[in-house]
Structure 1
Amino acid sequence: MLSALVSRVQDFVAAKAQDALLAVLRAGPVPQHVAFVMDGNRRYARRQHKVVWEGHADGFEALRRTLEICMRLGVRCVSVYAFAIENFKRSQDEVDALMSLAEDKLTEMCKHGELLDRHGIRLNVLGRKDLLPPRVQDVVRRAEHMTRHNDRAVLNLCMPFASRDDIATAVAASVSDALASDAPHITEAAVAAHIATAAAGSPPVDVLVRTSGVRRLSDFLTWQTCEDAQIQFSPKYWPDFGLWDFVPVLLDYQRKVWAAPVDA
């Protein structure tokens, strides 16, 4: 009984400390759009002596935890690399497990009172949705429809996604628009307007974080991060990523914002 009481007290103190830390961070500039390459689920699973799908399941819990932190900080939009088009080349067992996991978690997250509902988060699933199994496409349509009325924040779940495909699609749409309007040429602004995140109404990316220590973008949001976005790398595997790993990213963002010239 005493150990249980001590544990509850420790949890209470930790929660209060987290509340205080978030309040301090909110007092400074907060990025309005944060993107995550959720990398390291499979290596995490091997380290924990788990099967691969359990690593991905723990990764979804890390997404829930990180999204909660972002909402409490006042981040307006979160984009995550949930499944790359290239991931279809993995073993059929792993792909099937990921699709089933996505189906279950999307259904769960959109229940009344769940995270998206509580924080007024609109869900966008961006990418080649036509490549998803029909049952997952059905869940995606329901989830997007159920959150259409939410207007306080946005979660862009990028699956199946690739920046090269995103850019090619945006260029094709711009060409179609130009032909329809007899425009003499295609502008950068026209292509930018058709890029998936912009077309979904998201603000520009301020910070992109990749976990697991790997230092590359892996074909994720390359158009969106080519100019002003700050790119950060964390050594933690995604399922282990938490507030204390996010704090240095936020402090570095705030330091750079404060250090930027007034007319920049």
Structure 2
Amino acid sequence: MERIRERVIQIYGNLVSLLQKCIFCILSVGLIPNHIAFIMDGNRRFTKKCKLMEGAGHKVGFSALMSMLKYCYEFGVRYVTVYAFSIENFKRSPEEVQSLMDLMLEKIEEILKEQSIVNRYGVRVIFSGNLKLLSEPVRLAAERAMLATAKNSKAVLSICVAYTSTNEIMHAVQESCEEKWDEITLLNSSGAGYGLISLGGYEQDEMDHLIKLTDVEKHMYMAAAPDPDIIIRTSGETRLSNFLLWQSANCYLYSPSVLWPEIGFRQFLWAILNFQRIHFYLDKLRKQS
């Protein structure tokens, strides 16, 4: 009886997989998004809703993430970004933060396994954010994962940890200024004794072109990925919560009402269909900006 049940489950799984592939073939006639980003909202609410042990929602949420990655890579999405841990999350209780760090460490180690989804689909993993804020074990594990997958070239997974967009922008501006420091010093020394703060006596066009937009963008944590085409935030929330503010000016924001652990193929499909429906309008906005 058990063998029959297992066989039925296997046949059902194969049929579902075949149906998904057929749907992807139909969808691929339209535009395939190059970059999808996820705000994984609702893990704690899922825990309370289902009356689970504390932290169980995040573990179920990891399974949901694996499903979303599988859909993305099978559909041909080259870049996927997930908002895993905000700098603001460090304000939670020490016990919860430690629990999340432990879970993150466990899942990073899973990424390194040969049979993991990352290796199966040839995915390069990048951890984006102020990694100095992470505990040493997590930071070292993240560095190992990036090194181990550095030669993978079929797709890119950016995991935003210890990240906020305002911190990213501040970091990029600081790095740009440090890079241009010699040039700034040279300009200042030729300014007849004016200080760096006042910068008086310079031609305006000299200062306007000292640090360019491209200088700032290349120092962004997310410099390795193009701007997202779609941002999916679960729980019905339409806030970006300090995520990819610089990069999301002209992307499609999809906010399904399900909590993150509940997200599935239907929500993924609806996000793609809506994106394909309005991508001409979004493309027009990009060209105008």
TM-score, L = length of structure 2: 0.85
Tell me if 1:188 matches 2:190.
no
Q: Which residue identity does 2:268 align to in structure 1? A: F
Cα shift readout 1:14-70 (whole Å, capped 9, x = no counterpart): 222112112212222111111110000000111111123110111111111101110
Structure 2 counterparts to residues 248-263 of structure 1, below 5 A: 248-258=270-280
Give the SS at the match of 1:159: strand
Give the distance between the partners of 2:7 and 2:218, measured in 1 at CA.
Answer: 55
Q: Could you say which residue in structure 1 is the equivalent of 2:199?
A: none
Give the SS at the match of 2:162: coil
Give the distance between the partners of 1:173 and 1:33, measured in 2 at CA.
Answer: 26
Give the SS at the match of 1:197: coil
Give the distance between the partners of 1:125 and 1:77, measured in 2 at CA.
Answer: 13
Tell me if 1:131 matches 2:133.
yes
Give the distance between the partners of 1:3 and 1:224, measured in 2 at CA.
Answer: 48
Structure 2 counterparts to residues 112-191 of structure 1, below 5 A: 112-182=114-184, 184=207, 185-191=210-216
Q: Could you say which residue in structure 2 is the equivalent of 1:245?
A: 267
Q: Is the 8 A contact 1:41 1:52 kept in 2?
A: no
Q: Could you say which residue in structure 2 is the equivalent of 1:99?
A: 101
Q: Which residue identity does 1:186 align to in structure 2? A: I
Q: Which residue identity does 2:256 align to in structure 1? A: S
Q: 1:4–1:125: structure 2 CA closer, same or farther, 3 Å change rule?
A: closer
Q: Which residue identity does 1:140 align to in structure 2? A: A
Give the SS at the match of 2:152: coil
Q: Give the Å deviation of 1:6.
A: 4.0
Q: Which residue identity does 1:61 align to in structure 2? A: S
Give the distance between the partners of 2:220 and 2:29, measured in 1 at CA.
Answer: 32
Q: 1:24–1:52: structure 2 CA closer, same or farther, 3 Å change rule?
A: farther
Q: Give the Å deviation of 1:174.
A: 1.4
How many corresponding residue pairs?
261
Structure 2 counterparts to residues 216-235 of structure 1, below 5 A: 216-226=239-249, 228-235=250-257
Give the distance between the partners of 1:7 and 1:143, measured in 2 at CA.
Answer: 34
Q: Could you say which residue in structure 2 is the equivalent of 1:17?
A: 19
Q: Could you say which residue in structure 1 is the equivalent of 2:73?
A: 71
Give the distance between the partners of 2:16 and 2:154, measured in 1 at CA.
Answer: 27
Q: Give the Å deviation of 1:9.
A: 3.3
Give the distance between the partners of 1:157 and 1:52, measured in 2 at CA.
Answer: 23
Q: 1:7–1:152: structure 2 CA closer, same or farther, 3 Å change rule?
A: closer
TM-score, L = length of structure 1: 0.93
Q: Give the Å deviation of 1:190.
A: 1.8
Cα shift readout 1:70-94 (whole Å, capped 9, x = no counterpart): 0001111101100000101111111
Q: Is the 8 A contact 2:238 2:253 kept in 1?
A: no
Q: Is the 8 A contact 1:121 1:151 kept in 2?
A: yes
Q: Could you say which residue in structure 2 is the equivalent of 1:204?
A: 227
Q: Give the Å deviation of 1:177.
A: 2.1
Give the distance between the partners of 1:6 and 1:177, measured in 2 at CA.
Answer: 62
Give the distance between the partners of 1:130 and 1:5, measured in 2 at CA.
Answer: 49
Q: Give the Å deviation of 1:230.
A: 1.4
Q: What is the percentage of aligned positions where both structures have the same residue?
A: 35
Taking only aligned residues, the RMSD between alpha carbons, in angstroms, comes to 1.9
Give the distance between the partners of 2:112 and 2:265, measured in 1 at CA.
Answer: 24
